[in-house]
Structure 1
């Protein structure tokens, strides 16, 4: 996503493509995009990056987010829309099938059975291999799964966003659904490399409550505590935070985003960092969920999450 929107400057296509190629060289196999990232530009970028290397990639993209007035996030999931968006994504990506196609947000005005019936028909047509859902409640996951198997749930999960723990995670494990945490580094905050003065105008984080004045400073205490633990292990705070997410099980596949090879390599190295039970206890004590200041989204963006 960050290669085409949301975070800072995103106009260096050569570096973006080099980063994707480096990821594949390092053994990364899952690439995640969406039709709304850069209004389709990100799918086109990913398509150019994987040209000639399609067989090395588990390719995931999404449909379902629609933008309303003032940047409000809405959702659409009627069958006609689902099928048209799939065809559009296939064209932009330059591929003949999508490996994992997510419902990006749940449409409150369309029965989940209709949306997932359309996804089932796309599987039957060979246009997608598997279907997933994002930011959905346990009840919605069950309803979707009753129509067609849900392969993966993609929802935010990190040391400072732990809402899926409990019922949602339990439902996924009961039904055999993989979990793909997005923003496992707290939109970069948990790396300790983000400062408000470095965020340019237009960076979406300027509008997020946890980055707001007052909340930002309180949340930095979490990063400072993580940094001390990380130094003891000879790793970065970001690597420790990412390893914590990864430590939750083989069915958990976090997708840290990056635009540059330097941070990609740091993230990949975190995948081999093994944490002991004592490490996990110390990390969670350093970053207790109740210590996080601010909601994860402003109201205009929160309405479509967790339906």
Structure 2
């Protein structure tokens, strides 16, 4: 399991590309142009259970700003980084987005972590054309709407779900699976793609259900134990997946564990401990 969230890297790469474009625009102005402030914002959960991944997005973006702002500053621009905490909540993300577009100095947003937050927030960015570059949003809807200002630098659910199913069937040799998701646009979407591709390979899906439960998974784990699948796939984020997998082992379930890039955090092992030793998850590379 990886201890360095790839979102650090993806956020930095996204901003390197963005700053390259901004530098070219500044170097070739149309008509007279006064110098001013260029702000780059980030939106990710900086509080709550998913803060470890959200902090990774913020730090990656902040690092890229520090490393790439020199050329713009030489041209007379002041460059600022402005992080926003969306708390992994759609309504908070939208409220932040409205504040972002109200600040005419903010030219771009790096974010979000959650597709369920990114999709409604990006509707706000679209109103004024503020650029959004996502290092983490994998739901196909994020870019399938065709908004020219909305971009991503990570693999989609239809890629991750397929790759996960191929690995489970081809490498792990699983013949049966039980699939659980967190009922979010991210978790359910990737779980559905994993399910569809697994079934196309002849894997028997013994169950498919969503849950918003965070602490007591007994009602789900009891039937899973009775069905004894080769693998349990959890479509969601580590803050919910880790206690789920931990309780599964405590209940005596021997199935192998799998998940998507939402599990790609060192906090997964901090919460679940030895329960997730040997677990596999997909992530960007």
Q: Structure 2 length normalisation: TM-score?
A: 0.34
Give the number of the structure whose residues are more often strand, by fraction. 2
Structure ID, larger Rg: 2
Q: Structure 1 length normalisation: TM-score?
A: 0.32
